Amino acid sequence: DNTMTATSQKGGNTSANVPQPSTLNVYKKISIIRRPEDSLTYEDAGGNVKTVSAVELGEALHATQPNTNDSDTAANKQQQQQQAKKQKQDIPVPLIRAVGGYECDISATFQQPLSYVRYHRATPQELKDQLEYVLDAEDEAWLASKNSKLEESTKTTTKTTATATTTTPAQPQPQRLTFDLLELMMDILEKETGFESIITTHTAYEVFAQKIPQLFSIFPAKQAKHSNSTTTTTAKQIISDVYNYWMHKRSKLKRPLFRRFWPVTSTDDTNPHLVFRPREKEKYKLRKKRQNDMDSYHKLQRLRRDFDTVRAVLALIRRREQVARVQLQLHMERHRQDLFELLDTSGSPARQVVARGDGTTTPA
């Protein structure tokens, strides 16, 4: 304690009790502090042996750590945010929104059966009969805008009728395109197109007249002849508006609205938003299927006969080359004998020459 006080009075250098770095001795045991009563004995750079208690060592190390102010922390956070903005990554991040009344609206009535739950893949007819399309936020915004225009048209029609007649006219039924009708119309347009070419407006009108008769009960099929109802919206106009919106949304997406009508994603496409790529075929299979059939047996027999023929031909070629080598050696011997008879005048017999197997000759 006296040492710590004296040190602080001199100038606040609390690092005097901290062991200074020195040469590491690999043969010396490492001191391990397990309890507050333990002490650390070390040797400083001057060779002096010093002892520091665990409490003093902890206080000195804590005092030497730099103080982190709030301004420094905020600056570090701002710097990290700037670095994160620089690293632009095109990774789709899903947005999660908690639904408040989910537990009240949807009760937990599912009971786990004793057997496995098997997925029943719907048939094409079942997919055609059930409703698959679900309105999104863009559809809801368009529907709200369309219904507001219909309400304005209804009010204009009511005012025109009231001006033309002296009696108070009955309030007409408001024309509104409901969520269910828009979902059904979008679903029918997608399924009627499918993998084929896009249907026309005339074909869509006929399909809607057959499958959605309630649409024509809300909106009249034709415009009335009297002049004071020129602003009434007909079913043909509604179908044309929905058809144009569906075409705009489909061209904006550049693919069908239903996932099952999308083309297969190419393996070379690097867009992270496109999924379900086909598996690449393995070039080398680890296990090869072997079958013991007669065709393979006959192929192996023909292959063995071909190898026997090749071996016999190679044996004949080797024998031919050996005969040619012996014949060449005989020609060489005859040539030497002729030269000896022409050039030697001593009368002594010529020395015999022995031929080796490698083609060279040595005197006997």
Q: What share of the chain is helix, strand, coil (3-state, %, to 5)?
A: 50, 5, 45
Burial 52-75 (b: 16+ CB within 10 A, else e): beeebbeebeeeeeeeeeeeeeee
Strands 49-53 and 353-355, sheet pairing = unpaired
CA distance 172 to 151: 11
DSSP-assigned beta bridge partners for residue 355: 361
191-195: which pairs have CB atoms within 8 A and are 24 or more residues apart?
A: 191/127, 191/128, 191/132, 191/258, 193/256, 193/261, 194/256, 194/261, 195/261
CA distance 229 to 185: 26
DSSP E strand stretches across 38-146 = 39-43, 49-53
Residue with tokens 């869509």: 204
Give pLDDT tens digits along the chain (364 positions): 333 333 333 344 444 455 555 566 677 777 777 777 888 777 777 777 788 887 887 777 777 665 555 556 677 777 777 776 666 666 778 888 888 888 888 888 888 889 888 888 888 888 888 899 999 999 999 999 998 988 887 777 666 555 555 555 555 566 788 999 999 999 999 999 988 888 899 999 999 999 998 888 888 877 665 544 455 788 889 999 999 999 999 999 888 998 888 888 887 888 877 777 777 666 555 666 666 788 888 999 999 999 999 999 999 999 999 999 999 999 999 999 888 888 876 766 656 544 455 555 555 4
DSSP class per residue in 312-326? HHHHHHHHHHHHHHH
**Burial class for 364, CB neighbours closer than 10 Å (0-12, 13-18, 19+):** exposed
DSSP-assigned beta bridge partners for residue 52: 40
